[in-house]
Amino acid sequence: MYDVNIYPTLKDVDNLNEPNHSMVLYDNAKYGNLVKYRYLENGLKKGEHTIFLTHDKVTLVEDEIASLDIDIDNFKRKNLLHIYQIENILERQDGLTSGYNDLLKTVTADSKPPYRFIGCTIPDVSTLKGIQAELFIERLFHSNFSKYQCSFLCTYDVNSIERTNRPSWIAQLLQNHHNLIYATDPANAVTFDPDLLNTFQD
């Protein structure tokens, strides 16, 4: 496992309470990948069925994982690591809820709980339609979190989030996760519980 000295925020990833629904928000793909794959490796080492969702080619993800010295073949042999290139559920005729439930059913078909997911459901959140769909799914998932028997790290590139109303989208994303990992340069990266941004109810 790569050293936390490379990127101290990885220590926060190691300390996340389980199960959790967390998000990594990154402005640099290199740091985003360190967090994603650390989260993935932690699950694999615990013997969890770890499911990586991508819109790119599976081999691309495999290459990135291998570049971090994670023993990809070993975990695949043990049937713990599953990488799926997922469909765009926005294109489905039967709606987002149905599309999302089918997606989860498909990617967990060869696995058993507790699951660990890493990824983002909607491929393009730079459009209004895309980010609204993503938020719909985040709310759906977060409000039913306990029934999924999993941990989930949602992955967002800050710069890919719809531009005109970005602060509001980010605020809403924060409200639907247990933890935020802000993956930026090591001096400014931070992990916190977004509930801290709320006020006490009178």
Partner 1 sequence: MSTKGSFIYQNDVCILMARREKRTKLEIFYDILTAIQNESSSGEVKPTRVQQRCNMSFDKFSRYMEALKNEGLIHDSSPIITEKGTKLLQDYDKIKDFLNKMKLEYVSNEEASHYV
Where does this chain bind partner 1 (CB under 8 A)? Answer: 158, 166-168, 170-172, 175, 182, 188-192, 195-201
Q: Which is nearer to partner 1, 86 or 180 (CB)?
A: 180
Tokens, residue 165: 């109303």
Least separation, in Å, of the C-beta of 103 and partner 1?
A: 23
Taking CA atoms, 78 is separated from 48, 75, 114, 195, in Å, by: 11, 5, 15, 37
CA distance 171 to 175: 6
Least separation, in Å, of the C-beta of 182 and partner 1?
A: 5
Q: Which is nearer to partner 1, 42 or 176 (CB)?
A: 176
Least separation, in Å, of the C-beta of 125 and partner 1?
A: 15
Least separation, in Å, of the C-beta of 17 and partner 1?
A: 10
Q: Which is nearer to partner 1, 149 or 159 (CB)?
A: 159
Q: Which is nearer to partner 1, 66 or 197 (CB)?
A: 197
Looking up tokens 């073949």 gives 73
Give the type of residue at 130: G
> Edge-to-edge, what's the strand order for the sheet holding 179-183?
81-85, 49-54, 115-119, 150-157, 21-26, 179-183, 190-192
